[in-house]
Structures are given as structure tokens and as C-alpha cells.
Chains A and B, each alone.
Chain A
């Protein structure tokens, strides 16, 4: 089955700790994305990557970091500098060529206390 996997589904951390969320895709897509979803706020773009070893900040990148060492993987680190890290995090991917849809993973719900 082709798709996007995110793990874990639920994640709990203490305030002040960095945490890394996993995102893997086997769709052979070039572009990958991280979104944050809060109630009533829609989806806000954190970071995106068009190609391996390259990534760009989205609209709310502060307090987050990413890497893109492999085409299949785009991990997101939520650092202690992120003031309100509790949220639902969605990873997505898209083919590079032309206009196209984004495919989303199942998401990781992060709770920081």
C-alpha cells in the first residue's frame, strides 16, 4: 500500500523537552509538508520541502526545525522554543510536476504539559 505514515498517533511530553515527529512516504513524491492544526484555525504551514536536502519556512516556522536527508522522510522537531506546542500535526506530500493534490498522513496529536 502506498501512503504516508506518521508515528506515533499520540505523543505526550513535558514542557521544555524537544520532540521529533516522524513522517515517511512511499509515494515517490518530491515535495513534503508539515502543517499544524488547532481548533477553528484550519491548517497552517510550518515547513515544506520541494526536494531532498532543501526546505523552506512556512507561515509559522518559529520553534520548529526539519530535515530532509532522504526523499521518503521529513521529520519535524518541536523545540522547547515553541510557545504553544500542543496541537495536531499533519504531514503531507505532493508530486513535484505541475498542479496536484496533497496526500496527508493520519497525523500526530502532541500534548505538552
Chain B
């Protein structure tokens, strides 16, 4: 099935450093969603990007959707220990179904205080 490739798989940073995770596809994405899963927890929706070139911000988090709608990124400025977790991108409407999400494998972020 269609896949979204997410890199890096792991990222360890010092508190205060920036962090970026990337999501890439070989085909045009209909839209992208981002989720965060805290250790031992469940995924929680962060944001959805639909338009080409879209940029959305949530406090220290910046989400971008590429102009060609084949890639997306999540950037965290000045990481904090509360940012620890796995960040997943997911494409909706994968395989022609409006209800299916295809998730990337996630980026595990650890923050050293």
C-alpha cells in the first residue's frame, strides 16, 4: 500500500535545541495529519494540513506542507522535556478511501534536560 516515509527514526536533543521531523511520499498527498504519542500513551492529534505550501504554527511547533504536496515537516523550536514522545505523520484518503489513515513509522524525540 501507499507509504509515507518519516525521518529520522530517532532524535536526541539537549533541552533548548531545535528539532525537525520530515515526512516524504513518492506520490502526491491529499492531506497530512500529525500526531504525538507520549511514552506509554496513545496518539493525540496535533494538526491537519491540506493546502499546497501551507504553514501552520502552534506555539513552538511549526508545520509545513510542501508545494508539491509530497512532503511535510514538523519543527519544534527550543525543545522542552514536555516535548518528549513519538511524532507521527499520517496521510488521510490513502488508497482512495476517505476513512483510512496511513501512518509513517514515527520519530522518537528524547530531550536531555
Contacts and interface: CB of A to CB of B under 8 A. Distances in A.
Contacts, number: 51
Contact of B45 (A35, A96, A102): A102
B103 A42 contact: yes
Given A99-B31, A99-B48, A45 B42 contact: no
B88 to A, nearest CB: 6
A44 B103 CA distance: 7
A42 B104 contact: yes
Classify chain B: how many residues form its interface, as a range: 20 to 34
B69 to A, nearest CB: 14
A101 B99 CA distance: 10
Contacts of B1: 59
B105 A101 contact: no
Contact of B99 (A41, A44, A48, A104): A48
B100 interface: yes
A2 interface: no
A40 B10 CA distance: 10
B100 A45 contact: yes
B99 A31 contact: yes
A44 B31 CA distance: 18
Interface string B45-85: 10010100000000000000000000000000000000000
Given A90-B42, A90-B43, A101-B45, 6 more contacts: A35-B103, A43-B88, A45-B101, A94-B99, A105-B42, A106-B41
